[in-house]
Chain A
Amino acid sequence: MSFENKISKFYQELQLHSQLSYRHFREDSWKAFLEVGLPIKTEDWKYTNLAPLNELNFNGGLAEINLAQFVKENILLANYLVVVDGRVNLELSNLPKDNLLEIKLLEKNSEQESVNTNTLGSLQKFAPADFQSLNSALFEDAVILTFKQGFSLDAGLQVINISTANFSAPRIFYKLNTGVALEIVESYFSIGEDLRLVCPVAEYFLDQNAELKVYKIISEAKNTYHISNQISQLAKDSRFFCYTFNLNNGVTRNNLLSRLVGTGAFSSLIGLNVVGNQEHVDNFTVLDHVAPHCESYELYKSVLGQQAKTAFNGTIIVQQDAQKTNAIQSNQSLLLSAEAQSFAKPQLKIWADDVKCTHGATFGNLDTDALFYLRSRGLAESEARRLLVEAFAGEVTAQVKNLVVRSFLEKKIFQKLVDIF
C-alpha cells in the first residue's frame, strides 16, 4: 500500500472530529496534497529520496519515555512550550503570562476555535504543496501565537517538539506585531529508532519593524524523516534571522521560504550541518524579493564525515518592483571523508534591473597549507584538524548572540565532531 493510501486513514479519522470551517481547510489541503503526492525523483527532490516513506508503518506503538524528565533535560530557555507528536502539552510547558501575548490553540476535537485561513495557511500558495499541504490536512493541534506591540521577552521562548509516534505534523504560527523583537529556539527530538515522518510547518509573520531570531536545532533519530516547511513574510523594515542547526539527523529536508514584501526588510537564512554516517540534510531555500530596497543574506555550511550527504538549493527571486535588492548567498562544504557527498544548486530569477546578487559555493577537504602551518607550530595533526573544523563551524556559531544557545551549540558540535572524525 502506498504512503498516500496508508495516511488517508489519519485524514478520515481527523475529519470525523473536525468542525465545519476547519473541515474545509483540511479538505482543501488534503486535495492539494493528493494532487502532487509524495514527491519522488522530481527536480526539487533530486537529492532526497522519499521512496522509503512508502514503508512507513502507521500502526507503530509509541516509544516509552518519561516526558517530564526528558523535557527537563532539554530546557534551554526559561519560557517553553512542549509539543509531543504535534499535540500541545500545557502541563509540561511554562509560557509567559502576559496579556500582550495571545495564545490560541486549535485542538483536535475542540469546538471552540475555528481556523481562520486568513492567518493559518495564508502563505500556502507560495510554497510547494507537498508537505505543507500534508501538514495542513493532518495537524492535530495548531499553536497560534500573537505578540502584540510592546511585548518583550528578554529570555526568549523555546518550543520543544518531541516525536514518539511514527507520524506527526507539528504546526505553529507566529505573528509579531509592529516593533516586537523576539528570540525563539525550536528544538526537535525523536525518541525511538523506527522509521518515522515528522513534518512540521512554522509560519512567521513580521509586521513593520519587528525582529525575529529563530534558532532551529534538529536532534532527530537515525530513521526519522524530518521534512519541514518554514515560511516567513516580512513587512517594511522588519528583520528575520533563521538559523538551522542540523546536528543529529536521519534524513532531513528543510524547506525555507522567506518573502520580503515591505521595503527595507532584511532576511537572513543561515545553516550549519555537522553530519556523519549515513546522515542526510537537504536545505531548500527560496528568498522572494517582492519589495524594493530589501536585503537578504544566506550562509549554509556543512561538515561531512563518513558517508554523509548534504544538499543546498538556494533560489533568489527578485520581482520586477524589487529594485535596489541586495542578495548575498554562500554555501560551503568541508568534506572530511572521500565517501561524503555535498551538492549545491543556486538559482537566480531576477526580473528587476537594478539589483546586486552574489552567490558562491566551495567544496573541499581541509586546507593542507593551514594544517601544515599549525603542525609546524607544535599542534598534533588531530588537534590541528579539530581546530580548523571548529573554526569553519565557528563562523556560524559566532553569529548566535544568545550566549546560552551558543554555548549549548558549541558543546553539541564538539561532541558531534568527535563522532565524525
Chain B
Amino acid sequence: MLSIKNLEVKIEDKQIIKGLNLEVKAGEVHAIMGLNGSGKSTLANVLAGRDGYEVTAGSVEFMGKDLLELAPEERAGEGIFLAFQYPVELPGVLGSYFLRTAYNSIQKYRGLVEAGVKEFSELLQSKLKLLEFDPSYLARAVNEGFSGGEKKRNEIFQMALLNPKLAILDETDSGLDIDALKIVSAGVNAITASDPEKAVIVITHYQRLLNYIQPDFVHVMIDGQIVKSGGKELALQLEEKGYNWLKADAA
C-alpha cells in the first residue's frame, strides 16, 4: 500500500530525514517510536503533504501512485488521513458544516455520491456513538475551546467519517489521560476492525498506547532513520531499556 524508499527531507537547510525506508501493506498496524526530534512528525507531515518540507531524495508510493506529486486534498481523496498532533482550532467554522464539506469533497474525489444534509446527519449519528462523542460538538466551531482530549477524539471521529485506507496517528496519545486514551484507542480499533484492509501508522513516544492499539510491527526512529524494526515486543524493550542502546547501534 505504502512504499517509502530512501526518503530524505530537509526543512530549510536542515536535514531531518536521512534515508528512510518503510513498507506498509493493507491491514497492517505499524508503530514508529522515537525521541523528540528524531523526525517522526516530519515523516507524518511529509506523507500528508504539508508545505515547508523539501524532499531531496527518495520516493513515496501510495496505492501505486507517486504520493509526493499530489496536493494534500488529493492525498486525502486517495485515502491518506493524518490525525494531527496539534489539531487546529477553526473559529467560526461550524463542526457539522466542516465535516459535511470534507466528507463530500472526498466522496466527489472518489467518484461516490455526495450526502445531503439529512443523510449526512444520519451518518454522523452512527459515527458519534463509536467515539462516545457528544453531538453538541457539531454545533460548535471546530476544535475551538476543546480540551486536548476532545481535540484528539475529534481527530479519530473524522477518521471514522472520512474512511481512509491509511491512517497516520501523529502522537495522538500525547497529553491524554488514561480514560481518553482508552476511548481514542477503542475508536481506532473499531474502525480497523470494520475494514480488515485498513492500515495504520501509529507515531508515539510511549509504549502505553500500544497496550490498546496492538501493532504488527514496531520501528525505532533515531536521527532521521529507522534503526531497528521488530514485533510488538520491541516496544516493551524500549520501555524497559530506553533508546540509548540503539543509539550506539545507529552510530
Chain A residues packing against B (C-beta within 8 Å) = 367-370, 372-381, 383-384, 387-388, 390-392, 394-395, 398
Contact = CB atoms under 8 A, between A and B. Distances in A.
B88 A373 contact: yes
A375 B92 contact: no
B101 A375 contact: no
Given A378-B76, A379-B73, A381-B71, A373 B90 contact: yes
A377 B71 contact: no
27 contacts: A370-B90, A372-B88, A373-B84, A375-B71, A376-B49, A376-B50, A376-B72, A376-B73, A376-B84, A377-B76, A377-B102, A377-B106, A377-B158, A378-B77, A378-B102, A378-B103, A378-B109, A379-B73, A380-B73, A380-B105, A384-B73, A387-B101, A391-B91, A391-B93, A394-B92, A395-B92, A398-B92
B93 A378 contact: no
B73 to A, nearest CB: 5
B29 interface: no
B51 interface: yes
B48 interface: yes
Given A372-B51, A376-B84, A387-B93, 8 more contacts: A373-B90, A375-B73, A376-B48, A377-B162, A378-B73, A378-B102, A381-B73, A394-B92
Interface of B: 48-51, 71-73, 75-77, 81-82, 84, 87-88, 90-93, 98, 101-103, 105-106, 109, 141, 158, 162
Contacts of A380: 73, 105
Contacts of A367: 88
Contacts of B84: 373, 376
A367 B50 CA distance: 13
Nearest to B101: A379
A387 B91 CA distance: 11
A372 B72 contact: yes
**Most chain B CB within a 10 A radius of its CB, from A369, A370, A372, A381:** A372
Contacts of A377: 76, 98, 102, 105-106, 158, 162
Nearest to B89: A370
Contacts of B88: 367, 369-370, 372-373
A97 to B, nearest CB: 42
A194 B73 CA distance: 46
Given A373-B88, A391-B93, A378 B105 contact: yes
B27 to A, nearest CB: 23
Give the 9 A-B CB pairs with smallest separation, nearest first: A391-B92, A378-B105, A377-B102, A375-B72, A378-B106, A378-B76, A373-B88, A391-B93, A394-B92
A416 B129 CA distance: 40
Given A372-B50, A375-B71, A376-B72, A383 B92 contact: no
Given A372-B51, A377-B76, A378-B77, A395 B91 contact: yes
Contact of A388 (B72, B93, B102, B105): B93
Contacts of A395: 91-92
B105 A379 contact: yes
**Most chain A CB within a 10 A radius of its CB, from B71, B87, B90:** B90
Contacts of B49: 372, 375-376
A395 B102 CA distance: 21
A378 B98 CA distance: 11
A383 B51 contact: no
B50 A379 contact: no
A246 to B, nearest CB: 19
Nearest to A367: B88
A14 B5 CA distance: 85
A347 to B, nearest CB: 27
A153 to B, nearest CB: 31
B82 A376 contact: yes
Given A383-B105, A387-B101, A373 B73 contact: no
A378 B77 CA distance: 6
Contacts of B76: 375-378
A304 B82 CA distance: 32
Given A376-B82, A378-B102, A383-B101, A392 B92 contact: yes
A395 B144 CA distance: 13
Nearest to A398: B92
Nearest to B99: A377
A373 B87 contact: yes
A379 to B, nearest CB: 5
**Most chain A CB within a 10 A radius of its CB, from B48, B90, B91, B92:** B92
Contacts of B71: 375, 381
A367 B105 CA distance: 21
Nearest to A372: B50
A378 B90 contact: no
A379 B74 CA distance: 9
Contacts of A368: 51
Contacts of B101: 379, 383, 387
B158 to A, nearest CB: 7
A379 B102 contact: yes
A388 B90 contact: yes
Nearest to B48: A376
B50 to A, nearest CB: 5
**Most chain A CB within a 10 A radius of its CB, from B51, B72, B77, B90:** B72
Contacts of A381: 71, 73
Contacts of A375: 49, 71-73, 76
Contacts of B141: 391
Nearest to B83: A376
A374 B51 CA distance: 13
Contacts of B51: 368, 372
Contacts of B103: 378
Contacts of A374: 90, 98, 102
Nearest to A384: B73
Nearest to A375: B72
A197 B243 CA distance: 74
Contacts of B90: 370, 373-374, 388, 391
A367 B92 CA distance: 13
Contacts of B162: 377-378
A372 B101 CA distance: 15
